[in-house]
């Protein structure tokens, strides 16, 4: 069999946890091979070993049939293995070419040979249908384009095996389709791809085979065309899963959040949200649908107190909070699951325990007269860890940086729900989560609603918006272009509104 990569019997232990336990993954040349596993199953660790970031404790790696020792990423690069990480590694003030040649520059005399490099990048870009401008600055191009630059970086270094770590998590629906085309172009040219993703639809659409791992062990490798999404999901979590959300009709009560004529500028000082009004009542979930970058982030930041609006007001339970501090808002009952878990959600070098009390460490029982009560904090964190199934090597004492992405997300959600807020703002709450965890988080959000809390849900996943929300507001270019009852709408109508076709139903905010 013609394998580009064989990973055989791989084992890797971290303090307190076996991240990979006898895992086998064989990548055929010219295939897209999905790697599927629940959060913390060990996918990133396995790929870290292939890319030379970690050393396996046991097992064998073969590239093109030959046993290799991949001591660091440079060795991986020389062996033709490239990786696009979830968080891109680009210098935003550099151009595309400068980023791509960084670390492997060629010179003419003392001068960097940017011209030849740009020409080669242009050729590669055309050959694989990437459409990247070598002279554009990274900060001026979209996230989707930046990802293509990462792909080009690998191709420039002659990678034959490309590892894509949850590549669609940051992409818009159109960009996801485009990436599918790019992957097809790559394999047509003989490249092989390992695709880490939680999205079964994408595996179905793009992958030939899929290896499923659970709790560090290989469950099996299946032929994707012959295996249903449900079957793959069940292999992954080891039990039956349902994709449908069960919920009773909402019983909305008093208005909890009232946003009135809010206008907010973005970092570039342009109006990102204009004259936006919305109400969220107790006992309902209001979803905000929109293509990424249409003012959702600015709306959330203005409500959470992270950004000052230009005009308009924000009220919580009747009280104006437009200019109130973040802590004041938290104390009055706002919980916030932020968009970027690493930048806004967590302090990565703190333990789980410390992260769980970031908003409440100054209150009893977590501290008294300025002295922290470590035991109370640990117990508080352990409760969240248990009820949200946050998996880590050393429980509450684990440093958050060492947690898998999905477990970091579960920790944040647990922390915010534990605050029992009157208004819970959930931004992309299930980004990077496996289907089992998504099911659980959805249940918990609905439970909040049924307890009479107001939930504002912002998500780029239309399915999530449609399944969870009671009402849906659609934003386009910072304006509210429609607000509809979730039970009376469908994907098509929301899609039209997202594209900017106005259809205000005459209903109030
Ligand atoms: N550097 C590290 N130090 C200690 N523990 C680690 C380290 N890296 C990973 N782990 C642990 O190993 C386990 C596997 O993590 P890994 O990141 O490989 O999972 P994953 O399958 O990629 O998960 P996700 O889908 O959530 O990103 C987790 O329990 C994680 O906490």
Query: Does residue 147 line the site of ligand 1, with CB under 6 A?
Result: no
CATH topology for 243-333+421-509 is Rossmann fold (3.40.50)
* pLDDT tens figures, 410-467: 999 999 999 999 999 999 999 888 888 888 889 999 999 999 999 999 998 888 999 9
Query: Does residue 408 line the site of ligand 1, with CB under 6 A?
Result: no
Atom of ligand 1 nearest to the CA of 408: 26
pLDDT score for 508: 45
Query: Does residue 431 line the site of ligand 1, with CB under 6 A?
Result: no
217 has a pLDDT exceeding 90 = yes
Query: Does residue 43 line the site of ligand 1, with CB under 6 A?
Result: yes
Instruction: State which of 7, 40, 83, 440 you would mutate to test the pocket of ligand 1, scoring each by most atoms of that ligand within 8 A of its C-beta.
Output: 40
pLDDT score for 363: 82
Query: Does residue 41 line the site of ligand 1, with CB under 6 A?
Result: yes
CA distance 164 to 85: 7
CA distance 509 to 482: 10
> What is the average pLDDT value for the chain, to the nearest integer?
91
pLDDT score for 507: 47
What is the chain's Cα-based Rg?
24
HSE-CB for 308 with a 13 A CA cutoff: 5
Query: Does residue 478 line the site of ligand 1, with CB under 6 A?
Result: no
**Residue 298: closest CA among 499, 508, 458, 167:** 458
pLDDT score for 492: 85
Q: What angle do CA 341, 431, 439 make, to 5 degrees?
A: 125
Residues 291-320: b if buried by 16+ CB within 10 A, e if exposed? bbbbbbbbbbbbbbbebebeebebbbbeee
Ligand 1 mean position to 211 CA, how many Å? Answer: 17
In the chain, where the domains are located: 3-237, 243-333+421-509, 345-419
Answer whether 223's CB lies under 8 Å from 209's CB: yes
What is the mean predicted confidence (pLDDT) over 63-70? Answer: 96
Q: Provide, rounded to the nearest whole percent, the portion of the chain with pLDDT above 70.
A: 96
What is the mean predicted confidence (pLDDT) over 233-251? Answer: 85
Instruction: State which of 198, 403, 410 you would mutate to test the pocket of ligand 1, scoring each by most atoms of that ligand within 8 A of its C-beta.
Output: 403
pLDDT score for 504: 53
**Residue 74: closest CA among 104, 95, 101:** 104
For 199, list phi and psi in degrees, rounded to 5: -95, 110
CA distance 388 to 381: 11
Q: Within a 10 A sphere around the Cβ of 114, how many other Cβ atoms?
A: 19
Query: Does residue 297 line the site of ligand 1, with CB under 6 A?
Result: no
pLDDT score for 298: 95
Answer whether 16's CB lies under 8 Å from 32's CB: no
382 has a pLDDT exceeding 80 = yes
CA-CA distances (angstroms) from residue 280 to 174, 265, 316, 338, 470? Answer: 30, 23, 10, 18, 10
The total number of residues written for the chain in this structure = 509
* pLDDT tens figures, 306-316: 999 999 999 99
Residue 122 pairs in a beta bridge with none
Instruction: State which of 165, 216, 396, 404 you would mutate to test the pocket of ligand 1, scoring each by most atoms of that ligand within 8 A of its C-beta.
Output: 404
3-237 shares its CATH topology with 243-333+421-509 = yes
Ligand 1 mean position to 310 CA, how many Å? Answer: 42
pLDDT score for 491: 86
Please give, one letter per residue, the 3-state secondary structure of 260-285. Answer: EEEEEECCCCCEEEEEEEEEEECCCE
* pLDDT tens figures, 76-116: 999 999 999 887 888 988 999 999 988 776 666 666 678 88
HSE-CB for 252 with a 13 A CA cutoff: 16
Pairing of strands 17-28, 3-14: antiparallel
Helix intervals (H) in 279-325: 296-304
Query: Does residue 341 line the site of ligand 1, with CB under 6 A?
Result: no
Question: Model ipTM?
Answer: 0.98
Atom of ligand 1 nearest to the CA of 15: 4
pTM score, whole prediction:
0.81
Which CATH architecture describes the domain 3-237? 3-Layer(aba) Sandwich (3.40)
Atom of ligand 1 nearest to the CA of 216: 14
200 has a pLDDT exceeding 50 = yes
What confidence category does residue 232 fall into, taking pLDDT thresholds of 50, 70 and 90? very high
pLDDT score for 106: 64
Q: How would you class 372 by CB atoms within 10 Å of its CB: exposed for 0-12, middle for 13-18, buried for 19 or more?
A: middle
Answer whether 3's CB lies under 8 Å from 211's CB: no
Query: Does residue 436 line the site of ligand 1, with CB under 6 A?
Result: no
Instruction: State which of 11, 14, 349 you would mutate to test the pocket of ligand 1, scoring each by most atoms of that ligand within 8 A of its C-beta.
Output: 14
Instruction: State which of 10, 13, 19, 219 you would mutate to test the pocket of ligand 1, scoring each by most atoms of that ligand within 8 A of its C-beta.
Output: 19
CA distance 384 to 352: 10
């Amino acid at each position: 069999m013609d394998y580009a990569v064989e990973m055989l019997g791989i084992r890797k232990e971290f303090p307190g946890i076996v991240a990979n336990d006898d895992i086998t993954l064989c990548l055929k040349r010219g295939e897209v091979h999905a790697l599927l596993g629940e959060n913390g199953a060990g996918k990133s660790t396995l790929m870290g070993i292939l890319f030379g970031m970690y050393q396996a404790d046991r097992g064998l790696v073969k590239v093109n049939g030959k046993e290799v020792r991949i001591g660091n990423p440079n060795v991986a690069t020389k062996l033709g293995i490239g990786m696009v990480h979830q968080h891109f590694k680009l210098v935003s003030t550099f151009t595309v070419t400068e980023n791509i040649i960084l670390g492997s520059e060629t010179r003419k005399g003392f001068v960097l040979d940017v011209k030849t490099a740009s020409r080669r990048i242009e050729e590669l870009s055309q050959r694989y249908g990437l459409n990247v401008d070598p002279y554009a600055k990274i900060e001026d191009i979209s996230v989707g384009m930046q990802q293509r630059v990462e792909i080009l970086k690998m191709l420039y270094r002659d990678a034959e095996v490309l590892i894509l770590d949850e590549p669609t998590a940051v992409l818009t629906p159109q960009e996801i389709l485009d990436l599918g085309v790019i992957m097809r172009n790559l394999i047509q040219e003989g490249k092989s791809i390992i695709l880490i993703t939680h999205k079964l639809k994408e595996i179905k659409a793009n992958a030939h085979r899929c290896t499923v791992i659970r709790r560090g062990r290989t469950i099996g490798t299946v032929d994707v065309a012959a295996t249903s999404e449900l079957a793959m999901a069940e292999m992954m979590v080891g039990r039956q899963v349902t994709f449908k959300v069960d919920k009773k009709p909402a019983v909305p009560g008093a208005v909890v959040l009232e946003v009135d004529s809010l206008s907010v500028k973005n970092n570039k000082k342009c109006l990102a949200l204009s004259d936006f009004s919305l109400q969220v009542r107790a006992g309902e979930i209001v979803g905000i649908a929109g293509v990424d970058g249409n003012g959702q982030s600015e709306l959330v930041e203005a409500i959470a107190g992270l950004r000052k609006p230009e005009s308009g007001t924000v009220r919580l339970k009747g009280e104006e909070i437009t200019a109130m501090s973040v802590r004041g808002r938290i104390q009055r009952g706002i919980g916030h699951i932020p968009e970027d878990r690493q930048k806004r959600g967590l302090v990565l070098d703190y333990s789980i325990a410390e992260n769980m009390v970031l908003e409440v460490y100054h209150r009893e029982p977590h501290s008294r007269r300025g002295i922290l009560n470590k035991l109370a904090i640990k117990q508080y964190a352990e409760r969240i860890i248990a009820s949200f199934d946050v998996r880590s090597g050393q429980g509450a004492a684990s440093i958050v940086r060492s947690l898998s992405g999905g477990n970091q997300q579960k920790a944040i959600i647990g922390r915010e729900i534990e605050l029992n807020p009157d208004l819970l703002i959930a931004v992309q709450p299930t980004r990077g989560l496996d289907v089992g965890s998504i099911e659980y988080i959805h249940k918990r959000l609905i439970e909040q609603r049924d307890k009479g809390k107001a939930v504002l849900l912002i998500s780029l996943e239309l399915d999530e918006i449609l399944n969870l929300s009671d009402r849906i507001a659609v934003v386009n270019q910072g304006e509210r272009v429609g607000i509809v009852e979730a039970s009376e709408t469908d994907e098509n109508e929301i899609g039209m509104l997202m594209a900017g076709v106005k259809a205000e139903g005459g209903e109030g905010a």
